[in-house]
Amino acid sequence: MTDSKKPLNNFGKNKNNMILEKSRLFKDAATNAMDNELNFDKAIVASNDEYLSKLQDADTQEMDILRQNMDKAETPEEREAIRNRLDEMRKGRYEKDTENKRFYEAQQEKHRNFILKVLGTIAVSTGLIHTFKKPISNLGAKFITKI
């Protein structure tokens, strides 16, 4: 029985096989980069959800007190002051959420640029290795034969 994955001879490395190996390397690197990006985005969404939950928990007690005071308020001025405070709290939460999302967006952009740099480095280095493989191996053979 022969294993179909093993080449029958050592001369199986031709140009097409090298191109296939190179494309597999790029495919694996791209797949890993996409998985990394997906995991990073999931972590950001989870972190943002946790932040919003903590923000809402922090405001809940004060809002409950303000709503109770709204029921007890006797004058329209008191009710107006309570409504204004509730509006300020909502605006503050919205501003904090917007600031947080901008921060996460900047982090995602930095991460995406890093991934693109890694993929570019892989592409360039693989291209250089493929281009200069034979001259470098010939250089090594010349050194070995001279010694």
Mean pLDDT of 32-58: 85
b/e sequence 82-98, b meaning 16+ C-beta within 10 Å: beeebeeeeeeeeeeee
pLDDT in tens, 125-147: 777 776 776 666 666 666 666 55
CA dihedral sign of residues 46, 50, 53, 59: negative
